[in-house]
Amino acid sequence: MTDALYLYAQSVPASDLAELTALLSEIDFIGSNQLAAPFLPGAELMEYITFLGCSPALQRGEIKSDIRIHEFQQPTALGGESIHTLRFPGCKHVIEQPGEIVQHFNQPWQCPVCGHTGRFEDIQWRKSAAISTLFIEISEIFPKEAVPSDKLLELLQKHSGSSWGWFYARSSAPNH
């Protein structure tokens, strides 16, 4: 199981996958001349992602990252596992299977304990899931180990016309 940091456009972005890939390559966030994901990190990745604490791999200069861009025709929810306890809004009953709600994000959920219902957006996901059409996934990053820098968030906003948020979830990488 590998964890990842996901960045996502918070409203419909003006950039598509190709334009975003070109931007990330231009700023050396990903290495240049790569045609398909997973992308290798570029020389400037550390300028855009701020690592917190003292990861041993980081100290040895052995950070091995994969970068993937996910683009969807329709708004899609990713994420679902959290290091925090997630609770239904209102009743505060614990959400035992947040992944199920993410998978069926366009349907109302129902609390199995008290039966009240609501929408995906009503839940305080505590940076563990989000809905978007455009995501950038950076693995391996453990929850709260790293955050995007203001510089990166500003660049993405300028490029896409949307503000960007982030969350931590299981990596989509198949071979970990």
Binding site residues, Zn ion, CB under 5 A: 88, 91, 93, 111, 113-114
If the CB atoms of residues 111 and 152 are measured against Zn ion, the closer one turns out to be 111
The DSSP result for the chain, as a single string, is: --EEEEEEESS--S--HHHHHHHHHHTTSB-SS--SSSBPBPTTHHHHEEE-S--HHHHTT----EEEEEEEEEEEEEE---SSPPB-TTT--B-S-HHHHHHTTTS-EE-TTT--EE-GGGS---SSEEEEEEEEEEES--TTTEEE-HHHHHHHHHHHSS-EEEEEEE---TT-
Least distance between Zn ion and beta carbon 100 (Å)? 15
- 50/117 with CB nearer Zn ion: 117
Nearer to Zn ion, 103 or 110 (CB): 110
> Residue 14 or residue 113: which is nearer to Zn ion going by CB?
113
CB of 110 to Zn ion, least distance (A): 9
Q: State residue 24 phi and psi, 5-degree precision.
A: -65, -30
- Give the Cα separation of 112 and 95 in Å (integer): 9
User: Distance (Å, rounded) from C-alpha 170 to C-alpha 79?
Assistant: 7
Min CB(43)–Zn ion separation in Å? 49
Give whichever of 56 and 115 is closer to Zn ion, judged by the CB atom: 115
Q: How far is the CB of 91 from Zn ion (least distance, A)?
A: 3
Work out how close the CB of 125 gets to Zn ion at its nearest, in angstroms, rounded to a whole number: 17
